[in-house]
Structure 1
Amino acid sequence: MKQSNHKMGVVQLTILTVVNMMGSGIVLLPTKLAQIGTISIFSWLITASGSVALAYAFAKCGRFSKNTGGMGGYAEYSFGKSGNFMANYTYAVSLVIANVAIAITAVGYFSTFMGWQLGPFDAAFLAIIFIWLTTIPNFWGARITGRVGSVTVWGVILPVLGISLIGWFWFDPDIYTASWNPHNEPFGQAISASIAITLWAFLGLESACANTDAVENPEKNVPIAVLFGTLLTAVLYILSTNVVAGIIPNADLANSNAPFGLVFSYLFSPVIGQVINALTVIACLGSLLGWQFTVAQVFKAGADEGYYVPLFGKVTSRNAPVIGMVVLAIAQTMLSLMTVSPDLSTQFNAIVNLAVVTNLVPYILSMSAIIVLLKSAQVPQKQVLFVAAIAFIGNIYSFYALYSSGQEAMFWGGLVTFAGWVLYGKIVSTKYDLRQPY
């Protein structure tokens, strides 16, 4: 009993799940969804359902998998070493892309805070500055990074939670209905247009299943916490974005680079709005600081497995993969320049769609391998069938999200994925004895 006192209960894990998922992904969503209209509430409902299915299946994977390596380990049950590689490779690439999106989010709020009107290259240059400012501190190891991120994330959570609770006192149904479908898009097209952007807010849901060893009665509590944590996060996302859409006229909201700062300015004063903008910038930079270290660690782990060139695995005396961090920051710099667009919103949309496409590859591989995974753990047949059905729903949603991400994102995502197969076939597979069973 004494040992269990040091472990998390289901309530603590549920809260941790919500905090882990509510990073910087939400803070530009009111603007992006306003460009579609409040009809996007249907996209939220579809994405929330798909995300809950994925989260529940990942909870079961984390509970019963005997392989290390997260989603790569899950995929290996059905697809062998090549599946493990592809899941980890596409996930790592998606994190690199997502970091650029976080930097662009910070640029939007920072430029609003400073009162700047940035041109396309000015915005890209500032994003690059943020990328390097959040890379260099990680050279000294993870201790500071972890402490900073655990504090700065509240700069996003508190405004989102606050507007979800008190914003309804200012909610105007007429403003909301006037924003329903401002461009008169067909229903199916309008819903599809906002699927990828809503999924962006849930990316990372698989990481909520990584605390099995620190939880009391994990077989029961981890799925419950992940399920309700994802549901609670979905509720907060839906409430916050829709209440904002009923306070600020659609034209103003759709053209804002800092929607949460804008709504607090509407409700209280420009000063309060500026405080929210500052908190959001700090939260985004804190999130980016943590993700820069995380993505370097993902590449380091891959290098240790022989998936990437050895330089990603080299560490300093502080156990920091500095060379890998520099290479990844250069890649993010190049991506920032390659995606320069007339406005931040367009650039953000292109980056998010590509991040979603690459992140869905390991989701699909993991969901497709779940039957073999559960059977290898000798899970009862009835439970296998139930979890497999949930995972199949997650797969259906994943393919719909791929379709909704658009042809351009699918094109570039496809090129990235096929490049991974080339890397595996020419380099990685030679490191394994392919005659041996996986």
Structure 2
Amino acid sequence: MTASNKKMTLVGLTTLVTVNMMGSGIIMLPSSMAQLGAVSLLSWLITAIGSMAIAYCFAQCGVYCPRSGGMSAYTEEAHGKSAFFLCSFLYFLSLAIGNVAISISAVGYLTPFFPWLGSGAVGLFSGCVGLIWLTTAANFGGAGITGKLGAVTVWGVIIPVAGLSVMGWFWFEPRIFSAAWNPNGMPIKDAITQSIPLTLWAFLGMESAAQNSDAVVNPKRNVPLACLFGTLGAAVVYVLSTTVIQGIVPNEALANSSAPFAYVYAQMFGPLVGKIIMLLAVMACIGSLLGWQFTLAQTAKVTANQGMFPKLFGKVTTAQAPVVGMIACAVLQTLLALSTISPNASEQFAKLVNLAAVTNLLPYVTALSGLLVIMYKAGVSRSVYLRNVTVLMIAMGYSFYAIYASGKDAVFGATIVLAVGYLLYGFIAKRFVLEPSMSSPVDDPHGGSPQDISSSQLPGDTL
């Protein structure tokens, strides 16, 4: 067997991209979107186009910039070392926020089995934090177990969500969908804007699609195509599943449900099937959270190895697991859960999604802008450059709109985080500055002593 036969084809890579994106992000969305009405479904079209443009640009970055570091490396190409830190810092926080949102999703699906979890803010907080620490501890054994569990548990979401996209239409009632269209009487523009962060949430993670291009046949062709087709495939399933559910479950019941997909399956097939779907969703959330906890700790570890995060994040055990860093991450997530505490799972979920979207979009913007420098260094042809810049402008336009759509509170919070990031980098910046020469504090281009420079005429001086 030749080396090329061992590599992944376009079909295989497209399937992988679709499966990776369809994690646990979808399972609470129908309830959150139902609070705005079915009119919010229109935002899927805008998000799908924007996400495909972003995924394509990241694929191009990966093709022409093979260095390690992902988005942070692409950012550094255009904005320097400080931007590497800020990108890693914001992405790290977005993962931490996203993990809390995933744990809230899992608690929502556990509530029917453990009613106390849905009794108020204390129950929701306790269940959320319990899952955070459970999945953190489960990662102490290293990446091997985490990867195997994640590959299996993700199907707990994919099977019911994709299944509903096909089977649900037999139970679809236009009357119910029509009543759910715009129950609040909102202008369509406002409904779309408010639901953009929710739909974007389901696509977060697309930045990982361009990784490992060396394991793909003809990566310059297949990686961008797989990113586009994979994102499109996920978008089709998202649109169909969230549309059909609006025509089966009355909008008010859907908006107040803590387990929307389980609820709709119970409507279609009875309570027993609904409980099975709940268990599958919980399994998928825990598996997804397990994987993202490891990714969060690894992100901190890589950044610590660059000398940009505290050394404790870089310490590993014999199983190559950054246990101390994982514990620190769990403490951070506990504080995040406490700061957004709410008795309503959908309300708390929406707050976190908006904040996660902004803290993820800022690294998207900085990394995407790096493509311009990456293409310059790679010496791409004019046609490739013009094509990529066109797609880049679409990706940037969507990113700016999504930041705006996330709301004042989320943007304000992300701005504070960004400002803190600049301060933190200021403390470590000296590590990346060349030591000045002790014998010549200032280089005089005229060969005089340092004090002569103030009175000498420098290039460009007119006085």
- The two structures have a TM-score, normalised by structure 1, of 0.98
The corresponding residue for 1:327 is: 328
Judge conservation of contact 1:112–1:257 (CA < 8 Å) in 2. Answer: no
Aligned with 2:108: secondary structure? helix
1:208-252 Cα offsets, whole Å, 9 max, x none, are 111301101101111111100000100000000000001111011
4+ residue runs over 4 A deviation: none
The CA distance in 2 between the partners of 1:317 and 1:264, in whole Å, is: 45
Q: Which amino acid aligns with 1:155?
A: G
The corresponding residue for 1:53 is: 53
Judge conservation of contact 2:197–2:406 (CA < 8 Å) in 1. Answer: yes
Aligned length, in residue pairs? 435
The corresponding residue for 1:382 is: 383
The CA distance in 2 between the partners of 1:426 and 1:290, in whole Å, is: 32
Q: Which amino acid aligns with 2:326?
A: M
Judge conservation of contact 1:155–1:279 (CA < 8 Å) in 2. Answer: yes
Alpha-carbon spacing, 1:383–1:434, altered in 2? closer, same or farther (3 Å): farther
Judge conservation of contact 1:10–1:221 (CA < 8 Å) in 2. Answer: yes
The corresponding residue for 2:446 is: none
Return 376-385 or 142-151, whichever deviates more.
376-385
Identical counterparts, % of pairs: 51
The corresponding residue for 2:140 is: 139
The CA deviation at 1:181 is 0.8
Q: Which amino acid aligns with 1:401?
A: A
Q: Give the unaligned 5+ runs of structure 1.
A: none
The corresponding residue for 2:349 is: 348
- The two structures have a TM-score, normalised by structure 2, of 0.92
Q: Does 1:31 align with 2:18?
A: no
The corresponding residue for 1:420 is: 421
Aligned with 2:25: secondary structure? helix
Q: Which amino acid aligns with 1:313?
A: G
Aligned with 2:203: secondary structure? coil
Aligned with 1:329: secondary structure? helix
The corresponding residue for 1:367 is: 368
The corresponding residue for 2:458 is: none
The CA deviation at 1:338 is 1.1
The corresponding residue for 2:314 is: 313
What pairs with 1:3-18 in structure 2 (closer than 5 Å)? Answer: 3-18=3-18
Alpha-carbon spacing, 1:208–1:351, altered in 2? closer, same or farther (3 Å): same
The CA distance in 2 between the partners of 1:296 and 1:349, in whole Å, is: 24
Judge conservation of contact 1:160–1:236 (CA < 8 Å) in 2. Answer: yes
The CA deviation at 1:146 is 0.6
The corresponding residue for 2:185 is: 184
The CA distance in 2 between the partners of 1:240 and 1:420, in whole Å, is: 39
Judge conservation of contact 1:41–1:238 (CA < 8 Å) in 2. Answer: yes
Aligned with 2:39: secondary structure? helix
The CA deviation at 1:115 is 4.2
Alpha-carbon spacing, 1:97–1:364, altered in 2? closer, same or farther (3 Å): same
The CA distance in 2 between the partners of 1:178 and 1:433, in whole Å, is: 63
Q: Does 1:288 align with 2:319?
A: no
The corresponding residue for 2:96 is: 96
The CA distance in 1 between the partners of 2:278 and 2:194, in whole Å, is: 27
The CA distance in 2 between the partners of 1:320 and 1:389, in whole Å, is: 42
Judge conservation of contact 2:122–2:343 (CA < 8 Å) in 1. Answer: no
Return 115-124 or 388-397, whichever deviates more.
115-124
Aligned with 2:111: secondary structure? helix
| Bigger CA radius of gyration | 2
The CA distance in 2 between the partners of 1:288 and 1:41, in whole Å, is: 26
Q: Which amino acid aligns with 1:273?
A: G
Judge conservation of contact 2:201–2:353 (CA < 8 Å) in 1. Answer: yes
